[in-house]
C-alpha cells in the first residue's frame, strides 16, 4: 500500500492543528456550558422567575445536594434497569445475528419481526407490557426492545463484511464452522459490534426511562424517571431539573465507558482507533 | 537436484507418477454463462517452478483457485498429489487478519489443523526466520510495509510445509525494488525447499526470471497457447536479470504472448 506524504507546509499546519485539537475539544464545550449556565442564572435573576416555573442553576445544585439520598437511590434503580436491558440486548442481539448468519431461513423468518419491534414506538408498547408482566420485568423488557436492534443489525453487517480471500483461506485449510466463526467472523465483526454497543448503551437508558414514566402512573417504582414524573405532579421543579441532570450525566458516562472499551479493544489494529499519523 | 527426465509432452493429460498437479479438460463457466477457462489440459512435475502467464482476465487465477479447491471446475478433472492438504496458497493481496499479530497470522493454518501449541510455536518461528521476519513476530500487519506483509503471507503458506505452493500474482502490487528482492528470496526458498511452485503473473519479465517453465495463456476463455522452457545456469541471480540470454527469453515469451492475445 502506498501512502502519499502530504507536502511539507500542509503537514506542519496539520500537526499544529492536531496539537491544539485536544485542548479545544475539552475547552470549547466547557466554555459553552459555562456561558449557558451564566445566561440561565442572569435571566432567572433579572426577570425574577419563580422557582416553580424555572429554578436557577444555584437552586438546582442545592436541590441536588439536599435530595441526594433519594436521587442516588433512584439513579441506582434506573442504572440497574439500564444495565439489565443492555446486557439482554447485547446477548440477544449478538446471538440472534449469529443464528441469522448460520441460517438464511431463520433470518428470512424472523428479521421482519425484529424490524417491527424496532419501528413501533416503545412508549406505545410500554403500557401493554406493564399489564402483562411484573413491573420490574416490563421495564427491563422495554430497555431491551429499544437497545437490541442496533446490536443485531450492526453484528449482522459485521459478520457479512468478512474479507472474501480470508474466507477462502479458512476454507483452504479446512476450518470448521466453529473455527471460522471464532477466528474469522467474530474478530472481523468486532468493530461493528462495538459500534452497535455504543448506540445500544444510550438507547437502553432511554428505554428504561420511557418504561419508568409509563409505569410511574401506576404508582410504584422509584427510578429517576419516576422521580421526574412525581416531582412534576408536585410542582417540585428544582428536583425535576436535578433528576434530569443526573440522567444526562448517566447517559454521557455510559457512552464514554463504551467508547473507551471500544478503543481499548481495537487500538492495535482497527482504523477507527488509530491516530491519523500511522 | 536433477531435473526430471523431459517428457515428450509436458502438458500431457493423464496423471502420472511424478506429477504434482494434473488437470484434464478443465473448464469454468460462470453463472451468467461466461466461459472463463479452458478446456485446459495441464500437468506440473513435482519440484518444478511453473508460471502461468496471460493478460488480465484470462482465467489464470481461476485455474489456480481450481487447483487449490477454492473453486469447482464446471467440467473436467483435477488431480493434486497428496490432496488439498499439501497446498500452500499466496493470494494477490497479503490477506492477513488485521486483528492478529504476525505470529498468530502465520500460526493460523496449524491452529486450524488443531496442532499442539508447542508444535505450532516451533514451526512458526522457523517459517518467520525463513522469510527474514523473526524479529517482527509480535507486530501487527498494519505496522508493516507492503513487502513485509507479503513475506508474512508467504511464511503462512510455508508453515504447513506443503508440497505445492500456489501463488496468485503475489508481487503485483509491490514496487519494483521490493518485487526484485522478493523474486530472489522466492528463488532461494525454492532452491532450498524444492517445492512445486505454480506462479500466476501477467509480467513476462517476472515469469522468465523465476520459472523453469512458462505457460502462456490466451484471453478469455483461457487456454494454453504456448510453453517455453527457461534453461539457464542455476542458481539465477541479478546477473541473469541483466544478461542477453534473459533478454532473448523475454523477447521470445513476449512474442508468444502477443500471438496468444491476437488469437480470436
Q: Tens of pLDDT along B47-95?
A: 899 999 988 878 888 888 889 888 888 888 888 887 767 889 999 889 9
Is the distance from CB of B78 to CB of B26 less than 8 angstroms?
A: yes
How buried is residue A83: exposed, middle or buried, by Cβ count under 10 Å (0-12/13-18/19+)?
middle
Residues A89 and A26 grouped into a single domain: no
Instruction: Pull the grid cell for residue A189.
Output: 465483526
From the list A165, A169, A269, which residue is nearest B99 (CB)? A269
Asked if residue A109 is part of any domain, the answer here is: yes
pLDDT recorded at residue A14: 54
- Cβ–Cβ of B140/A268 closer than 8 Å? yes
pLDDT surpasses 80 at B7 = no
Nearest to B74 by CA among B41, B35, B42: B35
Question: Please, which pLDDT band fits residue A272 given cuts at 50, 70 and 90?
Answer: confident
H or E element, residue A96: helix A68-102
DSSP single-letter state for residue B142 = G
CA distances from A194 to A83, A86, A158, A188, A200 (A): 16, 13, 10, 11, 10
Cβ-defined contacts of A125-134 (< 8 Å, 24+) = A126/A210, A126/A211, A126/A214, A126/A215, A127/A214, A129/A211, A130/A211, A130/A214, A130/A215, A130/A218
Decide: helix, strand or coil at residue B49: strand
How many whole angstroms from its chain centre is CA A19? 29
Cβ-defined contacts of A169-173 (< 8 Å, 24+) = A169/B89, A169/B91, A169/B95, A169/B108, A170/B112, A171/B69, A171/B70, A172/B68, A172/B69, A172/B70, A172/B84, A172/B87, A172/B89, A173/B108, A173/B109, A173/B112, A173/B113, A173/B160
Q: Locate cell 408498547: which residue? A: A125
pLDDT surpasses 90 at A66 = yes
Residues A31 and A80 grouped into a single domain: no
From the list B89, B95, B143, which residue is nearest A163 (CB)? B95
Question: Please, which pLDDT band fits residue A35 given cuts at 50, 70 and 90?
Answer: very high
Asked if residue A112 is part of any domain, the answer here is: yes
CA distances from A90 to A64, A118, A156, A202 (A): 33, 15, 13, 13
Nearest to A250 by CA among A86, A77, A75, A85: A75
Predicted TM-score (pTM) of this structure: 0.80
pLDDT tens figures, A93-139 = 999 999 999 888 998 999 899 889 888 888 888 889 889 988 888 98
Helix A8-46 and helix A57-66: axis angle, to 10°? 80
Asked if residue A249 is part of any domain, the answer here is: yes
**Percentage of chain A with pLDDT > 90?**
55
Is the distance from CB of A182 to CB of A249 less than 8 angstroms?
A: no
With an 8 Å Cβ cutoff, is A3 touching chain B? no
To test the contact with chain A by mutation, choose from B72, B89, B98, B120 the residue with the greatest count of A C-beta atoms within 10 A, namely B98
- Count of H-run helices and E-run strands, chain B: 8, 9
| Total domain count, chain A | 2
Residues A175 and A42 grouped into a single domain: no
CA distances from B3 to A132, B45, B254 (A): 82, 10, 25
To test the contact with chain B by mutation, choose from A178, A179, A188, A269 the residue with the greatest count of B C-beta atoms within 10 A, namely A269
CB atoms within 10 A of CB B140: 18
Q: Which domain holds residue A41?
A: 19-48
Which whole number is the average pLDDT over A6-11? 44
How buried is residue B139: exposed, middle or buried, by Cβ count under 10 Å (0-12/13-18/19+)?
middle
Question: Please, which pLDDT band fits residue A276 given cuts at 50, 70 and 90?
Answer: low
Residues A97 and A34 grouped into a single domain: no
Residues A44 and A70 grouped into a single domain: no
Residues A86 and A181 grouped into a single domain: yes
B213 forms beta bridges with B50, B229
Q: Locate cell 510445509: which residue? A: B161
Beta carbons within 8 Å of A158's beta carbon, 6+ residues apart: A188, A189, A190, A191, A192, A193
**Percentage of chain A with pLDDT > 70?**
89
- Residue B230 distance to chain A (closest CA, Å): 31
Residues A248 and A129 grouped into a single domain: yes
Higher pLDDT, A16 or B218: B218
Distance, in Å, from the CA atom of B68 to the CA atom of B94, rounded to the nearest integer, reads: 17
Distance, in Å, from the CA atom of A31 to the CA atom of B15, rounded to the nearest integer, reads: 79
- DSSP states of A191-215 as a string? HHHHHHHHHHHHHHHHHHHHHHHHH
CA angle, B86 then B91 then B92, to 5°: 155
Asked if residue A207 is part of any domain, the answer here is: yes
Chain B residues whose beta carbon lies within 8 Å of the beta carbon of residue A173: 108-109, 112-113, 160
Give every strand in the sheet of B75-80, ordered side by side: B35-45, B19-29, B75-80
Is the distance from CB of B49 to CB of B190 less than 8 angstroms?
A: yes
Nearest to B60 by CA among B222, B174, B207, B195: B222
Residues A43 and A114 grouped into a single domain: no
pLDDT recorded at residue A68: 92
Question: Please, which pLDDT band fits residue A89 given cuts at 50, 70 and 90?
Answer: very high
Question: Please, which pLDDT band fits residue A82 given cuts at 50, 70 and 90?
Answer: very high
Distance, in Å, from the CA atom of A170 to the CA atom of B238, rounded to the nearest integer, reads: 36
Residues A42 and A62 grouped into a single domain: no
pLDDT recorded at residue B111: 92
pLDDT recorded at residue A75: 92
To test the contact with chain A by mutation, choose from B86, B105, B108 the residue with the greatest count of A C-beta atoms within 10 A, namely B108
Asked if residue A247 is part of any domain, the answer here is: yes
Question: Please, which pLDDT band fits residue A259 given cuts at 50, 70 and 90?
Answer: very high
- Residue A175 distance to chain B (closest CA, Å): 6
Residues A100 and A209 grouped into a single domain: yes
C-alpha neighbours within 13 Å on the C-beta side of residue A106: 9
CA angle, A14 then A17 then A19, to 5°: 110
Residues A57 and A188 grouped into a single domain: yes
Asked if residue A10 is part of any domain, the answer here is: no
Residues A196 and A150 grouped into a single domain: yes
Asked if residue A264 is part of any domain, the answer here is: yes
CB atoms within 10 A of CB A151: 27
With an 8 Å Cβ cutoff, is A172 touching chain B? yes
pLDDT recorded at residue B73: 87
Q: What are phi and psi of B76, to 5 degrees?
A: 100, 170
Domain with residue A93: its CATH number is 1.10.3720.10
Asked if residue A43 is part of any domain, the answer here is: yes
C-alpha neighbours within 13 Å on the C-beta side of residue A52: 6
Instruction: Pull the grid cell for residue B260.
Output: 496468444
Nearest to B252 by CA among B187, B186, B207: B207
Distance, in Å, from the CA atom of B182 to the CA atom of B209, rounded to the nearest integer, reads: 12
Between β-strands B196-201 and B164-168, what pairing exists: parallel, antiparallel or unpaired?
parallel
Amino acid at each position: 500500500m502506498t501512502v502519499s506524504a502530504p507536502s511539507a507546509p500542509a503537514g506542519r499546519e496539520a500537526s499544529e492543528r492536531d496539537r491544539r485539537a485536544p485542548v479545544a475539544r475539552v475547552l470549547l464545550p466547557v466554555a459553552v456550558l459555562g456561558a449557558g449556565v451564566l445566561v440561565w442564572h442572569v435571566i432567572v435573576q433579572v426577570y425574577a422567575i419563580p422557582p416553580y416555573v424555572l429554578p436557577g442553576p444555584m437552586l438546582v445544585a442545592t436541590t441536588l445536594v439536599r435530595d441526594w439520598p433519594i436521587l442516588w437511590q433512584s439513579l441506582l434503580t434506573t442504572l440497574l434497569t439500564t444495565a439489565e436491558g443492555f446486557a439482554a440486548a447485547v446477548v440477544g442481539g449478538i446471538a440472534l445475528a449469529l443464528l441469522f448468519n448460520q441460517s438464511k431461513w431463520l433470518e428470512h423468518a424472523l428479521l421482519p419481526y425484529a424490524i417491527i419491534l424496532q419501528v413501533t414506538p416503545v412508549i406505545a408498547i410500554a403500557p401493554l407490557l406493564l399489564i402483562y408482566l411484573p413491573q420490574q420485568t416490563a421495564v427491563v423488557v422495554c430497555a431491551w426492545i429499544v437497545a437490541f436492534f442496533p446490536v443485531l443489525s450492526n453484528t449482522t453487517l459485521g459478520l457479512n463484511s468478512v474479507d472474501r480471500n480470508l474466507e477462502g483461506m479458512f476454507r483452504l485449510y479446512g476450518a470448521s464452522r466453529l473455527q471460522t466463526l471464532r477466528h474469522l467472523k467474530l474478530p472481523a465483526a468486532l468493530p461493528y459490534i462495538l459500534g452497535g454497543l455504543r448506540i445500544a448503551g444510550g438507547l437502553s437508558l432511554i428505554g428504561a426511562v420511557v418504561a419508568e414514566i409509563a409505569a410511574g402512573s401506576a404508582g410504584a417504582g422509584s427510578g429517576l424517571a419516576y422521580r421526574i414524573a412525581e416531582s412534576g405532579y408536585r410542582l417540585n421543579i428544582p428536583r425535576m431539573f436535578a433528576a434530569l441532570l443526573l440522567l444526562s450525566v448517566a447517559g454521557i458516562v455510559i457512552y464514554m465507558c463504551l467508547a473507551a472499551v471500544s478503543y481499548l479493544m481495537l487500538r492495535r489494529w482497527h482504523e477507527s482507533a488509530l491516530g491519523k499519523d500511522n | 537436484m536433477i531435473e526430471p527426465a523431459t517428457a515428450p509432452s509436458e502438458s500431457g493429460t493423464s496423471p502420472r507418477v511424478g506429477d504434482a498437479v494434473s488437470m484434464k479438460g478443465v473448464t469454468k463457466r460462470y453463472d451468467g454463462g461466461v466461459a472463463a477457462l479452458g478446456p485446459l489440459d495441464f500437468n506440473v512435475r513435482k519440484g518444478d517452478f511453473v508460471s502461468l502467464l496471460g493478460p488480465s482476465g484470462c482465467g489464470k487465477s481461476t485455474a489456480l483457485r481450481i487447483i487449490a479447491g477454492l473453486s469447482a471446475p464446471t467440467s473436467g478433472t483435477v488431480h493434486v498429489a497428496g490432496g488439498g492438504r499439501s497446498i500452500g496458497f499466496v493470494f494477490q493481496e497479503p490477506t492477513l487478519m488485521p486483528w492478529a499479530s504476525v505470529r498468530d497470522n502465520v500460526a493460523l493454518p496449524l491452529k486450524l489443523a488443531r496442532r499442539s501449541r508447542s508444535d505450532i510455536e516451533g514451526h512458526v518461528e522457523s517459517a518467520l526466520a525463513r522469510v527474514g521476519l523473526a524479529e517482527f513476530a509480535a507486530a501487527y500487519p498494519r505496522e508493516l510495509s507492503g513487502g513485509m506483509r507479503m513475506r508474512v503471507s508467504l511464511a503462512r503458506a510455508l508453515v504447513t510445509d506443503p508440497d505445492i505452493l500456489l501463488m496468485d500474482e503475489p508481487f503485483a502490487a509491490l514496487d519494483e525494488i521490493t518485487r526484485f528482492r522478493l523474486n530472489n528470496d522466492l528463488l532461494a526458498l525454492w532452491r532450498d525447499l524444492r517445492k512445486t511452485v505454480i506462479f500466476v503473473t501477467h509480467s513476462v519479465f517476472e515469469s522468465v526470471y523465476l520459472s523453469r517453465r512458462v505457460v502462456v495463456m490466451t484471453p478469455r476463455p483461457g487456454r494454453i497457447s504456448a510453453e517455453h522452457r527457461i534453461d539457464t545456469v542455476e542458481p539465477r541471480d541479478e546477473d541473469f536479470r541483466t544478461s542477453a540470454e534473459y533478454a532473448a527469453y523475454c523477447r521470445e515469451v513476449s512474442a508468444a504472448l502477443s500471438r496468444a492475445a491476437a488469437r480470436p
